[in-house]
Structure formats: C-alpha cells, structure tokens
A and B are shown apart, each in its own frame.
Chain A
Amino acid sequence: MPSRLDDRLAAARAEGRAALVGYLPAGYPTVDGAIAAMRAMVAAGVDVVEVGLPYSDPTMDGPVIQQAADAALRGGLTTRDVLRTVEAVADTGAPTLVMTYWNPIEQHGVAAFAADLAAAGGAGTITPDLPPEEAAPWLEAAAAHGLDPVFVVAPSSSTERLRRVADITGGFVYAASLMGVTGARSQVGTQAEGLVARVRAVTSLPVAVGLGVGTAAQAAQVAAFADGVIVGSALVRVLLDAQRRGEGPEVALAGIGALAADLAQGVRGAQANVPVTA
C-alpha cells in the first residue's frame, strides 16, 4: 500500500515536477518558533518536511545546521519536543519525516520511537549514520508502524551498495549531491546527476537530491533530473540571520515563506526573480 510519502511524491510527478523537501531543525529558535517556520514553509509550497532532531555531535552537518542545533540543545530541547513538532507539522497534511542521527532513536528505544513517531503522525525517518548493515532493528520497527525509512547514498557508493540501500529504503532514495557535509554552496555538485542515473538503474523508487541546494535556480537545475529537491541549510540560514539581526519572528517567518515560495517555483522549472540567500 502506498504511504503518504509515496502519494505526495506521485502527486508531484503527476504535475510534471519534482517535489520540494524542506529541512529545519526542531527547537530553533524555540520549539514553537520552529513549528511556525515549518508551517510557513508548507504554506509556501514545500511538499515534504524534514524535522531535524538536534544532536550533540552532528558529524554530517556543516556550520549552519550545527549552530542552530547547538542553540536548540542549549535551550533544553528533548526528543519529546521533536515529536510534538512532528505532530504540529503533520497536521498541515505534509508528509513529515524526522532526520536524525542514530543514537537518539536507540536511547529512546527503537520500538518506542517508531510507535511515538507514528502516533505523532510522522511519515518516516532519514537516518544518515545508520548503514544497511546496522539497520535491521529499525527496519522492523518502522515497518510495524507504517513508517518510511529513508536512507542516503553518496557519489562514492558502489553499484552494489546502491542496490543494497535502495532495497531497504522506503519513500525515496536520498542522493547526496557531493562528498561533504550539509551546507549551501555556489554550485550543485557535478556528481549529482550521474548519481541519480546510477540509482535509477537499480530501483524504481523516486530519487531526491540534497546537500548544497539553496537557491531557486539550483532547485530548477536539480528538478530537471531528480524526483525531489532537498533544501536545508539555506532555510536554516534565514532563521539564523533573523536572530542575528534581532528581527522579530514575523520577519523570520516572512523570510522562510519567501525562500520556500521561490524554491517551489524552482522545482516547477521557473527561475527566481528575487535574490534569495543572505
């Protein structure tokens, strides 16, 4: 049976466009502030939301996401707050995934986390430091609760590993556009298109591209060859900048809405008219 995530990706495809996946960490600048920003993102055209679970040792994240995650943790954020965030965002109808390093799930209890995430209305997870070799307990728990377990592939993945990852992935395959950590870059990695083609050769699952995509023009470029475009750091940057300038939450939300709208145009093949990154 197709999941909500499957349906949303299929709907985008039916419109002849890529889906837009937006990431923000829970708890930044506050739990409620993050919820408002995520809902603003959905209102402006983001199809799928990734709720980041801030973690003390985010080895796959660049400075922008680290900074927001550190602030969220200093503010006392817990996994319970993340689940509350999922519930509030899933209420919009957008499929909502939790992006998390593995240890917070393990400490919450693998089965308990799956049950709690499903109860909050979550659609699945993205677990970038959980390779297929270690994934069996999570796959079982996710399946028991109808959650899509999304896994990441990289330009360095062999064909055999692409197959192995695709075999256990639900929803879409997350293709990292480059070898590196999260963060907006001036150009989309040149390896992205080739990686998407290699993934398509081993699976019929949709393929979404993340890492280094931050502008409408880049979104349009990726949308031309992928089924989904994932944007994280560029959105987080809007919140960080608003905080740094001492701007009120309404300004930050307007900024998130403007960037998300621009990106939504991008995945529809339109070029941005407005410069978007700070």
Chain B
Amino acid sequence: MSTRTAVPAASADAAGAAPSLLTGVQAAAGWQAFPDASGHFGKFGGRFVPEALMAALDGLTEAYAQARVDDAFIAELDDLLASYAGRPTPLTDARRLTEHVGGARILLKREDLAHTGSHKINNVLGQVLLTKRMGKSRVIAETGAGQHGVATATACALLGLDCVVYMGEEDTRRQALNVARMRMLGAEVVPVTSGSRTLKDAINEALRDWVATVEDTHYCIGSVMGPHPFPMLVRDFQRVIGVEARAQVLERTGRLPNVVVACVGGGSNAMGIFHPFIPDTEVALIGCEAGGDGVATGRHAAAIAGGAPGVLHGMRTYLLQDEWGQTQVSHSISAGLDYPGIGPEHALLHETGRATYRVVDDTAAMEALALVARTEGILVAIESAHAFAAAIEVARELGPEATLLINCSGRGDKDVDTAARWFGLLDEPADADPAGTAAAAGTAEGGGQR
C-alpha cells in the first residue's frame, strides 16, 4: 500500500481539491472551518506574540497555503514519508493484550516504527520542506524528552540545514542518550537554565532565539501548539496517522473502531490520529493527559482536568496556572507529556464534547508499560503508555464486540533507564527494593522537574 493510496476519502473530497495527505478527509469533513482565518479554534488559539514575529507568522501561513496545494511539494513530502520515514506504519492486532484485558479487540497504530522512533518525524519532514521552500537555512526547535529534537536534527541532516535544539537542563541530564543522538546528527543542543528548566522554558528560549533570527530561521514547533499557523500546520502534517489508521482498521475489521485513544501533552499524536475520525461521530475519541502523582496533589500535567483557559506561548488554551496567571510547573514521569498547556484544537474538542480527556497517573502508565512489554513484546514510550493505561480500562467497559484503536506514538528505548529505576531492575542502587515501591517513589520525586 503506497502512502498516496492510503488516503481513503480523497475521492470523496467535497472541496474538489487535489487528493493528498494534507487535504483528503479534512475537506470532506467540514471540520476545515477550524481554525478560522485569524487562527482561532472557537475561542481558543490565536496569535499572542510580539509584533516582531507577526511578519514571519504571516509569511509561514502564506507559504503553507501555497505548499499544501502544490503537487510538487505534496509529492516530495509523500515520497519522504514513504521512502525515508517508513510510512505507512503498520496496524498491529494486540492479541495477547486483548486476551489479557478480556474486553474490546485492541488495535495498535505503530508510530513507534516510524524512523527516529516516534510520530514526530511526520511533522518535522513537512516543516523542514517548508523551511527550504521559504529560503531559510537554519531550523530551531524545542524538545522535552528529546524525540522532537532527534526528529528535527534528523530531517535537518537529511536536507542540509543548520539545526539548534533547545532543551531544559533537567531534561538534558535525564535524556542524555537523546542529547548524544542529536549531536551525532550534527545539531547543536542548548541546555536551557532559565525558569523551571523544563520544556516550557525550552520553548521560551526558542522564541527568544526566533525573534532575533527570524530572517533566516524557521522555528519548527513540535506539537499542535503555539501561535497560528502552527497548531493547524502540525495537525495537517500529523493527520497522516489517522488517515492511514482509518483505512487500515476498515480493511482489517470491515468497520470503524468504536474508540480511538491517544496520549496528550501538546497533543500532536492525538490530533494526528483523531482528526480524520472527527466526522465519524460514532467513533469516540479519548485523549489521555498525564496525571503525575494525581491531579489532587497538584503535581501533574493535566491541563484540561486541572487547568483553566489562559494564554501561553502564543495561544489561548487550557493551562496550569495560578490565580494571577503565572504558569505553574507541570509534573509527569513522562518528559514528553510534561507541559502545562495543551493544543488549542484539543481545548475546542473538549469544549464541544467531540473528544473526552482522561487522566492517567504515573503509576498507571508504568503498569501499562510493563503489561504491554510482556504481552506484546513492545517496549512503548512512557508517553504512549498513558494511552495504553486508559485504553485497557475502556476496553473492559466496551466488551468483546467492540474495537479499540490505540496510537502507539513512540518507542521506549529512551525510557529504559527511567523504567529500570521505577521497577527496581538495576543491580546497583543501594535502595533497591524488591517490591519496587521505594525505587518508584524516588523516581517520581527525582523526575519532578521535567
């Protein structure tokens, strides 16, 4: 199956635009009304940035508007997705997990098998092609767990662009392997020591860089967040996940899944798989926010469950903030979900009720990670494990007649160290505890500043 033929609704494209990964189902859905011309998803989204960046955002919006209907651009992107990133990624029947859970049939969309080990490559290839199209020579990016940074460094190496990745100092220490990977790929990794030294501060630093370098530099944002047009752009580049998965599930089972489940930090893997299903109102969409130590403890990253609408990083959305509008530091064992906001289109999906959002805490995610490893032989990223944890509950609620699709957004190699500590699998630590409880508590505490 080629990437192009993986677009099932292309022929049903109501707008009559060229069939492509970028336009296919979206135009047929009528959901293309979001964002509106000014970049709003209902009351969310928009552009809250300094005037210095407005010209660049206008330029990017215009360049993308042309690229998305340009056959040459689409062909180049489709080719890279297929021949370089390894798309389409497979759909796996999780037979032993399904049997173990004893509920709905569980299907996995295997973004962990995409090049660089997660869905991040989809967006990055699109943005880096746009960068070249705009005649810019330098790319900057933020990264939390390092997956977006690795994907950006990879695409820049492939296309011969300079790459600088901003990463919170805490994360550079804990995700040292990914720092080394980025440097191997020729990127400069800048540890960020301001503020809370986490992902949100890496974004702050990238924005500071961009204001000063915008003439020759593109800021390759890694999720469906930030000022317009980024939430739209990243969604469009990620929706290939859902376009493929929808066709694959139909082919495999003869019908649509009852439920689609994905983890949500900024929310790009979730938006990518949700978006083509939005018109299928019989399909329930469930996003999983990181609950950290539990929403009640205040140490979590669940912007919808524990936050309120506000403005951060150029967008209006749900945020963790205090009563004065100061951003609160998020907490999660998963560096990739450890962000105090969420993409504005998720905020809209939540408000309209088209998607629902559940909270999965550290412990539940790690238990799911272990279960999936033993039943399916797949070591998933801790981020993705949040989706599995919720999906297991939902599969039981649904019963065996139903089908459930999980976005397995990334592989867990980067998390082996964290998981080994959590489960007490290392020989060395003096505080090793056979039950894993002491090690688990220590890890959760030590991992607080992500």
Q: State the A residues within 8 Å of B (CB).
A: 55-60, 62-63, 66, 70, 73, 78-79, 102-108, 128-131, 133-134, 151-158, 161, 165, 176, 178-181
Assess whether B326 is in contact with A104, with CB atoms less than 8 Å apart. yes
Q: How many chain B residues have a CB neighbour from A under 8 Å?
A: 36
Docked-complex contact A102 and B48, CB < 8 angstroms: yes
Whether A107 contacts B323 in the complex (CB less than 8 A), given A56-B195, A102-B48, comes out as yes
Expressed in whole angstroms, the minimum distance between the Cβ of B320 and any Cβ of chain A is: 11
Complex Cα gap A158–B311 (Å): 25
Distance between Cα atoms of A73 and B310 in the complex (Å): 19
Most buried by A among B56, B200, B207: B207
In the complex the two chains form, is B312's CB within 8 Å of A62's CB?
A: no
Closest 6 CB pairs of A and B: A107-B325, A154-B52, A180-B212, A104-B325, A103-B325, A156-B55
A interface footprint on B45-75 (CB within 8 Å = 1, 0 otherwise): 0111111111110000000000000000000
Q: Given the complex, which residues of B lie within 8 Å of A155, measured CB to CB?
A: 52
What are 8 inter-chain pairs, A to B, with CB distance below 8 A?
A55-B326, A56-B326, A57-B195, A59-B211, A102-B48, A107-B323, A107-B324, A131-B54
Interface of B (DSSP majority class): mixed
Task: Enumerate B291-309 residues with CB–CB distance to A below 8 Å.
Answer: none
Counted as pairs of residues, one from A and one from B, with CB atoms less than 8 Å apart, the total is 115
A117 to B376, CA, bound (A): 60
Q: Which residue of A lies closest to B208 (CB)?
A: A181
Which of B38, B48, B214, B319 is the one whose CB lies under 8 Å from A156? B214
Chain B contacts for A105, CB-based, 8 A: 325
List of B residues within 8 angstroms of A66 by Cβ: 194-195
Are A176 and B52 within 8 A (Cβ)? Answer: yes
Q: Which of A59, A152, A156, A158 has the most CB of B within 10 A?
A: A59
Which of the residues A55, A103, A108, A129 comes within 8 Å of B50, measured between beta carbons?
A129
Q: Is B321 located at the chain interface by the 8 A CB criterion?
A: yes
Question: In the complex the two chains form, what is the Cα distance from A102 to B313 in whole Å?
Answer: 11
Which single member of B46, B207, B214, B324 contacts A133 (CB below 8 Å)?
B46
Further contacts, 13 of them, CB under 8 A, given A156-B55, A157-B52: A56-B195, A59-B207, A59-B313, A62-B208, A104-B324, A129-B311, A133-B38, A156-B51, A156-B53, A156-B54, A179-B211, A180-B212, A181-B211
Most chain A CB neighbours (cut-off 10 Å) among B201, B321, B324: B324
Judge whether A161 and B208 touch: CB under 8 Å: no
| B194 partner residues in chain A, CB cutoff 8 A | 63, 66, 70
Is the Cβ of A59 less than 8 Å from the Cβ of B204? yes
The reply to whether A131 and B195 contact each other, CB–CB distance below 8 Å, is: no
B312 touches A103 (CB 8 A): yes
Q: How far is the CB of B231 from chain A (nearest CB, A)?
A: 15
Candidates A78, A106, A134; contact of B310 at CB < 8 Å: A106
A57 / chain B contacts, CB cutoff of 8 Å: 195, 200-201, 204, 312-313, 327
Asked whether A107 and B310 contact (CB < 8 A) given A57-B327, A161-B51, A176-B52, the answer is yes
How far, in angstroms, from A104 to B322 measured CA to CA in the complex?
10
Rounded to whole angstroms, the CA-CA distance of A104 and B326 in the bound complex is 7
Q: What chain B residues lie within 8 Å of A181 (beta carbons)?
A: 208, 211-212
CA A196 to CA B56, docked complex, whole Å: 21
Q: Which residues of A contact B314 (CB under 8 A)?
A: 129
Within 8 A of A (CB), among B310-347: 310-314, 319, 321, 323-327
Contact (Cβ within 8 A) A179 B212: yes
Q: In the docked arrangement, what's the CA distance between A63 and B194, Å? A: 8
Q: How many whole Å from B220's CB to the nearest CB in chain A?
A: 17
Min CB distance B354 to A, Å, is 25
- The residue on B at minimum CB distance from A127 is B48
CA distance A106 to B323 in the complex (A): 10
Residues of chain A contacted by B200 (CB below 8 angstroms): 57
In the assembled complex, which residues on chain B have CB atoms less than 8 Å from the CB atom of A106? 310-311, 325
* B167-181 at interface with A (beta carbon < 8 Å): none
Q: Please, how many angstroms separate the alpha-carbon atoms of A78 and B324 in the complex? A: 7
In the complex, what residue of chain B is closest to A152 when comparing beta carbons? B51
A155 to B325 CA separation, bound complex (whole angstroms) = 30
CB distance from A126 to the nearest CB of B (A): 11
Please, which residue of chain B has its CB at the minimum distance from the CB of A158?
Answer: B55
